Structure 1
Amino acid sequence: MKGTIIVSIILFVAVVAASVFYFTGLGSAQKDMTKPLTFLPEETLLIAAFKNEETTDNIFKDYEVFDALLGFEQKQNMNDLKQQLLRSPTLTPYLAGTDVYVSFHDVDKSVEMLFTIPTIEPIKESSVNNFLAQLSDRYQFTALDTLGQRIFALQRDSSEVTWYAAYHADIFFVSPALSVLEKVLDKRHPKLSRQQIAFFLENTNRNVPLSFYFAHEQIDSLSKKFLRNRPGHFIQQFLGLDGQSTWNINYKQDALMLTGESELDKKEQNYLSLFAFQQKTTQRLYHYFPANTALYLEYSVSDLRKYRQDLEKYLTRKPNQKRILDQLENTRSSRPNITSGFEAAGGSGFAVAELNNGDNLGFLSLRDSTALDGMLSDLAEDVGNGLYRLKYENLLYAYYGDAFQIFPRPYFTIIDDVVVFANQSATVSNYLSQWQNSDLLVGTLGFKNYERMQGDEANVTFFLHTKNASRMLSNNLIRPLAQNLRDSKAYGYQDFYAWSAQLMGNGGNFISSIYGIYKSSTALGSSPDWTYAFNNRLITRPYVFEHSDTSQFILVQEQDHTLHAIHPSGTKIWSTVFSGRVIGDMIQLADRSILLVTDRNRLYRFDPKGNGLPGFSISLPEEPTGSPVVLTIDRRDIIFVPLRDRLLAYDMEGNAVSNWASTAVSGRLLSGIYLANNEIVVGSTSGKVYYFNSEGQIVHEIAAPTEAEATFRNPLGHIISASSGAEDVFITTDSAGKLYRYAKSNGVSSTSNAELSGNHRAFFAPLSVASIPDMVVLDDNKLSVYQTADSTSLRYSQGFTKEIYSSPLFFPISRTIVQLGVSVPSNNLIYVFTENGNVIDGFPVEALPLFYYGPINYNSGNYLLSTKRDHKLYAYKH
């Protein structure tokens, strides 16, 4: 892979940003922003400008992104220089209230920084030497004469870095490279043009803490500097992209985010310039990229006809393209149905992805798949197993340009309305296997976080996956940079998930953005407050219950059936082995006792100290099928335990209720035991809802008119009547996708939902309104939430690349409302949703499916309790 120069550019931007943080005390408001920039050499790689404001210091305090990119040792050197020299009382009166510029410069196969700091009032030349000499006793101070200018050298004994400083035209210039200062002070050396300076200042947002300027012509010199070999397919598209960009920073703790304007020169000479005349559109092809994608370029156009017209002009002007253009014209003349059919079928979105093994995949959206079907036999050879090969060379290149130049006559397959192609049939076959297994980039944790930061509307999107591209970066970048990327002790490059850049057409120029997605130690799931070790994996999710008036505690069971009580600080309170695995949920009663059942036919009730209450545990006649429930019947609290086809009833001392003789139901009891008008209501797999009186007798039943093939297996939901005299309603679904509403006097009604497959699972919980549960549907890899008040309507849905865990999790956020959590076990991602269906900031997180989200102590704030494969419970404060 030779397209990695883009990453280098982004790294430069980030390193400058890092430098800026350590010098944020140098300047604020400006009197003349133009003057300091007129001294910078024309070959300056990058410039940053920032203000001296207390808010800037606060924003970037402990900003790990800067530390990771700059390097931890270099960061310390710069911090020392800032504190001991530039923040000294001697110079503060001259530097406070000024703007500071940090620029990067090419110096003998390395890049060095220059700090340009105008003073608010002139300093006499005779005073500069004394000021610098008196700044600190921590530096060795010497003076040099170069080009008739006095340059001062400062070096700490403990550091190999020497800082050179000059004061000229009421401006301090500071750099670790003497040659850079010499170029600045040399009047004969070419400097930045007035046009470049004007563009920078015009597009700099004075309301943001950092702004950046980059001349596109430096891409060519950067590629020569950082790549071992000639630029490859990806970087070649950026070469010759003359003009300049100005970006302003958008602060986010775990990302570098820059947005701004990009002005283009010589538009007719660069392929990417064709997209500057388009309007941004939604990009979707990245949903098809495999999980081992190392980097990709996705393109989209709003006006396909104009794009093809501009492309033909571009190709006509491009050297050495006559043979390809003549070939296309011959095809148009001899086989007009082929070219016209291909024009009609091809869509406005296309992409190229490079995989971690160096293979390339191409993607092309179809706007008329039927047109392609009708001409497929004429267009391509059928090579079997759903694969084809184009008969006509360079057809893709002629209609889509440089993006597809590497695919002269590829093999391809068609998925949905997308053509996927590669130069080797094995590459396409391997991709088909990945697609069928949903082994896709969009299913990974890092990409989920990336999607939330960067939008999907653009004309060109570049993306590099740091881990997948690591081998390619090492092989193609020059050795010092490759070593820095691998050095996790000195740098933090490996903690960046990805780098990306987006271009959006803007009347012949671009609106551009750059992103660096970082794995911050402050991000949810990175740094636990505490861990608790088990001997085995967990088999229940963590529960948080009240322990006393002043403290809560965490209760969880591991595979050997040991129940652990854990203090909110992560210390052990007690543990004991129970007989069997907990079935359903543990519940806490008003007296703080805990109630649960196990698969060894036991009913337990115990206090928060782990002591069993009198009369418990109780042996059950058979294995229970769900959680116990406590209902108040005739002013007496009764514990109900569901068995396969009947209910057991116990008083709070563990005695079987004497007058209870439960009648067996038809089929198997569904989850959910409710109280309505002093009657116990349950549902069964037969499609019936039963009403029991206080003696366990069925006093009423409602049967649903089901189809022969339909089955009932989902829990029963309960809609509590809001008005007096009205009846409660009970709801569930069957495998045919019908939703049933049961009411005692009105019987049952049903509505069909074509969105529900035969494999769907439905659950009912109050996500927004206490008395009316929402219906949470998990259907393979899709989550849907419906409101159920009077009719069923979709509130929100969320798609995933992999199948969702068999059951959702519900976390209490009040006494009557819960919050929804789901897991995707195949890629170990967990999610928690807001009431409106948005993923809570910080999620998804990589963890096993059984987790908890919410407070873990009175007024503690929210925590994530989750586990990994190391049999530990991790507590992350959010």
Structure 2
Amino acid sequence: MKGTIIVSVVLFIAVVAASIFYFTGLGSAQKDMTKPLTFLPDETLLIAAFKNEETTDNIFKDYEVFDALLGFEQKDNIDDLKQQLMRSPALTSHLSGTEVYVSFHHVDKSIEMLFTIPTVEPLKNNAVNNTLAQLSDKYQFTTLDTLGQRIFALRADSSDITWYAAYHADIFFVSPALPILEKVLDKRHPKLSRQQINFFLEHTNRNVPLSFYFSHQQIDSLSKKFQRNRPGDFMKQFMGLDGQSTWNINYKQDALMLTGESELSKTEKSYLALFASQQKTTQRLYQYFPANTALYLEYSVSDLRHYRQDLEKYLTSKPNQKRILDQLENTRSSRPKIITGFEAAVGNEFATAELNNGDYLGFLSLRDSSALDGMLPELAENAGDGVYRFKYEHLLYAYYGDAFQTFQRPYFTIVDDVLVFANQSATLNNYRRQRQNSDLLVGTLGFKNYQRMQGDEANVTFFLHTKNAGRMLNNNLVRPFAQNFRNTEKFGYQDFYSWSVQLMGNGGDFISSIYGIYKSSTALGASPEWTYSFDNRLITRPYVFEHSDTSQFILAQEQDHTIHAIHPTGKKMWSTVFSGRVIGDMIQIPDRSILLVTDRNRLYRFDPNGDGLPGFSLGLPEEPTASPVVLTIDRRDVILVSLSDRLVAYDMEGNALSNWSSIPVSGRLLPGIFLAKDEIVVGSTSGKVYYFNSSGQITQEIAAPNEATFKNSLGHISSASAEDVFVTTDASGNYYRYSKSGGVSKTAIAGLSQNHRAFFASLSASNAPDMIVIDDSKLGVYQTTDSTALRYSQGFTKDIYSAPMLFPISQTTMQLGISIPSNNLIYVFTENGGVLDGFPVESLPLFYYGRINYNSDNYLLSTKRDHKLYAYKH
């Protein structure tokens, strides 16, 4: 079961895409599109057509995908030909307004290209000779006579490549391989059929910059050219998929994306043709594949009964399959309950994944897992610890066909409503450990980027993970192509995260797509604008504060407690060692001074130049528990600091307020100190909300009605016309609302576990803050106005240990960031809960997203394990 046939086809198409765009920008008018294609040999591997418009050049300018696939040296050679030949003043007027075709052909042990370019108007032979002779003096110009046709040879002094050109039937044919031109000019050599040409032209979208035509029969030829070993049984299903495809390109800076239609013929011997009469369905089994998956094929059908009927006809027509079908029929006759129960239990989604070590896993959805449980003793042998082994050979193959041909009598286990199986119990046990550790493909950065581009509705999806399949590719591709794949200096194949093919049933044919996901240097997190080096890892996120009327600056603390001030250009402004680690957040007050507290019981206030203000720093009675706040009480600014069970208060010169009582509360203070109608409000783990006056005296306390555990922060819903409301949750997932006159009310929020954590921030234009809930690996954002309706949610494969990041986007609104420390992925969300374009990004958890200077672009400030701060413009 080798993936290199499909890989070869996909990469071959990608290389063609790379090459042809270096010949764009020659004109815009469309002439007779049929005539040039009638000269192409019938064994043509692939054809591409592109619009000769200046806008095409602009779209694909600096398109790294093409450079990576074609190879940097080859790109330079073709680019030189384009500039010196195609765009020379002598030819531009003759080629302007034509349609250019690029086709690829076998020549000995290589694959070479042919450019087919009609002229605007017919040229006389002497005009062609004179025109080519006027070309750049960079080319050595000679003529040949082949089949009574004059062929021109052009070779640049700086290149080993000779380009051969012929002018025939008002068309220029240009190629580096003379045998291709000979076939084109030979009237006796078989050419493309009219039916093939019509299909290509009929399904080519004239509004896109690039289209492809591919004959499925060429898969055999391509596999022989690219593959060292014989194809395995799994990939043979693609080789029997006769017919043809036309694809149109969808431009994406960091991906190659082709979509189009695939017409099938001679379908009786093709396994994949069984899916062409199905309707696309949502595929979900990929969520169960382990992170070390090298490639997979996932299948789904909309009509399982119809699929089984078609499969039986297909298997009956295959040689040497009668024994398997007879075996199934015998089992059906002798043990009808087993077969009936199995048919009722299994579903319409199935998949096979090959791992990077060569092992295979199979996946099959279950419609009724309880039906399977009741028949397990008769269906399978118990191997212990939730693992079983089928008693009957080829059962899976008989019901699902070639997808499961490699699994004769596998071991299996049940995960959720999915049957997972393998030929060796060790493979299955290792998968169960990976599953328990959430070590899954969907938890990786590259797959998340892939998911954002390719949908999950299809009937067949092939996926190859470039890195995980590296050993497979090196072992199975022919030596020249394997060398190119490994060569990171001349090619960029290693920078492709994945390749995939997706097929959707279309009334007996397919809607088909090809995706190549590329690690572009322009992608967020790839190329920093600047870096700043620390001696140790960061222990706070980067903060962006005002420095003056004209500039801002960045503050961050590293592990040795040094706080660094960094200019928006990445230059060091100053650094100072503080006593202890910053607790909570650093805050900036209107006079631009910075306030913070540390775990060494210190309160700091300093100006943007790093100079401490008079009276600071100062010692605190004990270790603070949260960020300090500044509130205006009795017309003066007061600094309030939370200790374990009480508040302490200071004036702006660092003096303790003489009239402040510091009365302890019941339990420990929850994060959050608020001002409500001239009263200070805090909450505690005892479930009480306390109101203090300007002297620190408790004026009112509101207690939750029942004993409950409180640990989450307090949220504040303020109103100019009504009482302020304070909200929080208890450990059981109940939501509480406190107010002075209304007391406290409790509402259960379904689905919250005891591990959930709740935070409050304004993420939208609403007057009330949103409640951000992190519950193991789930994120939920709830409104807090009249109800706790869920605004949006997001699931992850790993638990979210870190608190949410909040980045200001206006004076009243924040943007939400989430980090997943266990897989080093960071996310930033839009107001409506979508993942912001460019995310996720691989990074350590402490990061910042937003402007780093007045009127600057948005930047991502993030760190890696090299103790550097990276600034990426977005």
Same fold, judged at TM 0.5 (above): yes
Distance 2:790 2:545 in 1: 33
Asked if 1:819 is matched to 2:815, the reply is: yes
Asked if 1:762 is matched to 2:761, the reply is: no
User: Deviation at 1:3?
Assistant: 2.0
Counting only pairs closer than 5 Å after superposition, residues 784-823 of structure 1 correspond to structure 2 as: 784-823=780-819
* Alignment partner, residue 196 of structure 2: 196
| 3-state SS, counterpart of residue 277 of structure 1 | coil
Counting only pairs closer than 5 Å after superposition, residues 532-571 of structure 1 correspond to structure 2 as: 532-571=532-571
Question: In 2, are the aligned partners of 1:345 and 1:369 still within 8 Å (CA)?
Answer: yes
Question: In 2, are the aligned partners of 1:770 and 1:817 still within 8 Å (CA)?
Answer: no
Q: Which amino acid aligns with 1:41?
A: P
Q: Which amino acid aligns with 2:781?
A: V
Question: In 2, are the aligned partners of 1:787 and 1:794 still within 8 Å (CA)?
Answer: yes
* Alignment partner, residue 720 of structure 1: 718
* Alignment partner, residue 397 of structure 1: 397
Question: In 2, are the aligned partners of 1:808 and 1:820 still within 8 Å (CA)?
Answer: yes
Question: In 1, are the aligned partners of 2:31 and 2:97 still within 8 Å (CA)?
Answer: no
Asked if 1:833 is matched to 2:814, the reply is: no
Question: In 2, are the aligned partners of 1:3 and 1:233 still within 8 Å (CA)?
Answer: no
User: Deviation at 1:223?
Assistant: 1.2
Question: In 1, are the aligned partners of 2:166 and 2:181 still within 8 Å (CA)?
Answer: yes
Distance 2:219 2:801 in 1: 47
| Worse-superposed segment, 763-772 or 498-507 | 763-772
Q: Which amino acid aligns with 1:534?
A: F
1:686-708: per-residue Cα shift (whole Å, max 9, x none)?
0000000000000000000234x
User: Deviation at 1:386?
Assistant: 1.1
1:653-696: per-residue Cα shift (whole Å, max 9, x none)?
11111111121000000000000000000000000000000000
Asked if 1:129 is matched to 2:129, the reply is: yes
1:399-441: per-residue Cα shift (whole Å, max 9, x none)?
0000001101000000000000011111001000000000000
Asked if 1:458 is matched to 2:458, the reply is: yes
Distance 1:847 1:160 in 2: 45
1:79-128: per-residue Cα shift (whole Å, max 9, x none)?
11111111011000110000000111111121111100000101111111
Distance 1:243 1:604 in 2: 74
Q: Which amino acid aligns with 1:470?
A: G
* Alignment partner, residue 857 of structure 2: 861
| 3-state SS, counterpart of residue 555 of structure 2 | strand
Asked if 1:345 is matched to 2:341, the reply is: no
* Alignment partner, residue 113 of structure 2: 113
Question: In 2, are the aligned partners of 1:727 and 1:743 still within 8 Å (CA)?
Answer: yes
Segments of structure 1 that go 5 or more residues without pairing to the other structure are none
TM-score by length of 2: 0.99
* Alignment partner, residue 676 of structure 1: 676
Distance 2:460 2:709 in 1: 49
Distance 1:45 1:824 in 2: 46
Distance 2:690 2:601 in 1: 24
User: Deviation at 1:240?
Assistant: 1.5
User: Deviation at 1:770?
Assistant: 5.5
* Alignment partner, residue 778 of structure 1: 774
Asked if 1:877 is matched to 2:873, the reply is: yes
* Alignment partner, residue 187 of structure 1: 187
Distance 2:249 2:31 in 1: 23
| 3-state SS, counterpart of residue 108 of structure 2 | coil
Distance 1:674 1:305 in 2: 63
Question: In 2, are the aligned partners of 1:26 and 1:99 still within 8 Å (CA)?
Answer: no
Counting only pairs closer than 5 Å after superposition, residues 338-737 of structure 1 correspond to structure 2 as: 338-707=338-707, 710-721=708-719, 723-724=720-721, 726-737=722-733
| 3-state SS, counterpart of residue 807 of structure 1 | coil
Distance 1:222 1:520 in 2: 28
Question: In 2, are the aligned partners of 1:27 and 1:50 still within 8 Å (CA)?
Answer: no
Q: Which amino acid aligns with 2:869?
A: L
Counting only pairs closer than 5 Å after superposition, residues 134-145 of structure 1 correspond to structure 2 as: 134-145=134-145
Q: Which amino acid aligns with 1:727?
A: E
User: Deviation at 1:37?
Assistant: 0.3
User: Deviation at 1:140?
Assistant: 1.1
Distance 2:539 2:446 in 1: 27
User: Deviation at 1:315?
Assistant: 0.6
Question: In 2, are the aligned partners of 1:2 and 1:229 still within 8 Å (CA)?
Answer: no
1:217-260: per-residue Cα shift (whole Å, max 9, x none)?
00111112211111113321101211000000000000000000
Distance 2:408 2:418 in 1: 18
TM-score by length of 1: 0.99
Distance 2:767 2:333 in 1: 71
Question: In 2, are the aligned partners of 1:586 and 1:627 still within 8 Å (CA)?
Answer: yes
| Worse-superposed segment, 279-288 or 52-61 | 52-61
Distance 1:95 1:21 in 2: 16
User: Deviation at 1:27?
Assistant: 4.3
Distance 2:87 2:819 in 1: 51
1:815-865: per-residue Cα shift (whole Å, max 9, x none)?
110000001111100000000000000000000000000000001010000
Distance 1:16 1:224 in 2: 18
Question: In 2, are the aligned partners of 1:411 and 1:421 still within 8 Å (CA)?
Answer: yes
| 3-state SS, counterpart of residue 122 of structure 1 | coil
Distance 2:363 2:102 in 1: 41
Across the two proteins, how many residue pairs are aligned to each other? 874
User: Deviation at 1:339?
Assistant: 1.0
User: Deviation at 1:154?
Assistant: 1.0
Question: In 1, are the aligned partners of 2:25 and 2:55 still within 8 Å (CA)?
Answer: no
Question: In 2, are the aligned partners of 1:440 and 1:801 still within 8 Å (CA)?
Answer: yes
Question: In 2, are the aligned partners of 1:805 and 1:849 still within 8 Å (CA)?
Answer: no
Distance 2:194 2:208 in 1: 24
Q: Could you tell me the percent identity over the aligned residues?
A: 81
Distance 1:232 1:825 in 2: 40
* Alignment partner, residue 64 of structure 1: 64
Distance 1:362 1:532 in 2: 47
CA root-mean-square deviation: 0.8
* Alignment partner, residue 746 of structure 2: 750
Q: Which amino acid aligns with 1:863?
A: Y
Q: Which amino acid aligns with 1:367?
A: R
Distance 2:486 2:539 in 1: 39
Distance 2:393 2:130 in 1: 73
Q: Which amino acid aligns with 1:662?
A: S
Match of 1:851 among 834, 847, 853: 847
Distance 1:612 1:537 in 2: 25
User: Deviation at 1:30?
Assistant: 1.9
User: Deviation at 1:4?
Assistant: 1.1
1:143-175: per-residue Cα shift (whole Å, max 9, x none)?
111111111111112211111111100000111
* Alignment partner, residue 284 of structure 1: 284
| 3-state SS, counterpart of residue 536 of structure 1 | coil
* Alignment partner, residue 275 of structure 2: 275
Distance 1:634 1:44 in 2: 86
Q: Which amino acid aligns with 1:331?
A: T
Q: Which amino acid aligns with 2:572?
A: K
Q: Which amino acid aligns with 1:699?
A: T
Question: In 2, are the aligned partners of 1:27 and 1:100 still within 8 Å (CA)?
Answer: no
Q: Which amino acid aligns with 2:622?
A: E
Q: Which amino acid aligns with 1:290?
A: P
Q: Which amino acid aligns with 2:868?
A: K
Distance 1:706 1:267 in 2: 69
| 3-state SS, counterpart of residue 239 of structure 2 | coil
| Worse-superposed segment, 394-403 or 4-13 | 4-13
| 3-state SS, counterpart of residue 55 of structure 2 | helix
Distance 1:103 1:28 in 2: 20
Segments of structure 2 that go 5 or more residues without pairing to the other structure are none
